[in-house]
Copies of this chain bind each other. A is one copy, B any other.
Amino acid sequence: MKRYVLIVAGGKGIRMGNELPKQFIPLNGRPVLMHTLERFYRWDISAEIILVLPETHQPYWNMLCKELNCRIPHKLANGGETRFHSVQNGLSLVNEPGLVAVHDGVRPFVSVEVIEHCFTEAERSGAVIPVVPLVDSIRERYDESGLSRPADRGRLVAVQTPQVFNSDWLFEAYRQAYRPDFTDDASVVEAKGYSVALTPGNQENIKLTTPFDLLVAEVYLRNQTE
């Protein structure tokens, strides 16, 4: 089956005075986003990569690709108002039936094994997401006054990406009207009545969101290449 990878790096445009969006911050001399693309390219050079980027970021990205001599073939789609709309835009470039992975641009550390496993499982079951166990105890607030009770951590998992789907299911799901409770692609697909299977992710596949995460990322990369 044809394999697509939608890498979503939406977010707001680059405005004067704002800091550089996380996906462009350099790690070992290359932007986060390029590391993310490399993971998927290393996994399967024949997979078709579609990168969803705000239109205003695209000239900068193209310049980076040229400067850094990036040879990973990929198409660009425009970022939308929300992540939901960004995925919709990316899907417009999926032109054959197959499997489609949707992946956060700022998760450069997904392992090749997890990618492969998600695709294999999605071929079998139609929809798969990688999950990892939670380390801390978890509590649930159950009323406005701040009262809380322990939650059963054994039943809870943290959701990562790539989330991989049969393209027919994903197209059908993304034809729905946007709802704010769509927290990830799995929830969009489930809203059409499909079941989503869980598969183990890799713990290092963190979403780079804070300056501290970026520091960790640098050391992690350095350690991997030594």
Cβ of A95 within 8 Å of any chain B Cβ, yes or no, is no
Given contacts A148-B198, A203-B210, A220-B212, contact A156 B183 (CB under 8 A): no
Given contacts A207-B135, A216-B216, contact A187 B142 (CB under 8 A): no
Instruction: Name the segment of A66-74, A157-165, A170-178 touching the other chain.
Output: A157-165
Minimal beta-carbon separation of A12 from chain B (angstroms): 19
Cβ of A134 within 8 Å of any chain B Cβ, yes or no, is yes
Interface of A is mostly: mixed
Decide if A160 touches B139 in the complex (CB within 8 Å). no
Which residue in chain B gives the minimum CB-CB distance to A205?
B136
Interface size on A, residues (CB 8 A): 46
Decide if B198 touches A139 in the complex (CB within 8 Å). yes
Decide if B146 touches A158 in the complex (CB within 8 Å). no
Cβ of A116 within 8 Å of any chain B Cβ, yes or no, is no
Contact residue among B131, B209, B215 (Cβ-Cβ distance under 8 Å from A135): B209
Cβ of A75 within 8 Å of any chain B Cβ, yes or no, is no
Per-position binary interface string of chain A over residues 178-208, scored 1 when its CB falls under 8 Å from any chain B CB and 0 otherwise: 0000011011001000011110000110110
Interface centre among A148, A155, A159, A210 (most CB of B within 10 A): A148
Cβ of A59 within 8 Å of any chain B Cβ, yes or no, is no
Cβ of A225 within 8 Å of any chain B Cβ, yes or no, is no
Decide if A159 touches B142 in the complex (CB within 8 Å). no
Decide if A156 touches B184 in the complex (CB within 8 Å). no
Cβ of A42 within 8 Å of any chain B Cβ, yes or no, is no
Which residue in chain B gives the minimum CB-CB distance to A154?
B141
Q: Which residues of B contact A206 (CB under 8 A)?
A: 135
Which residue in chain B gives the minimum CB-CB distance to A163?
B137
Residues of A within 8 A of B (CB): 129, 131, 134-142, 146-151, 153, 155-160, 183-184, 186-187, 190, 195-198, 203-204, 206-207, 209-210, 212, 215-216, 218-220, 223
Q: A135-B158, A151-B156, A212-B220 are in contact. List 9 more A-B contacts (CB 8 A).
A: A137-B158, A137-B183, A139-B156, A139-B186, A149-B190, A150-B186, A150-B187, A215-B216, A216-B216
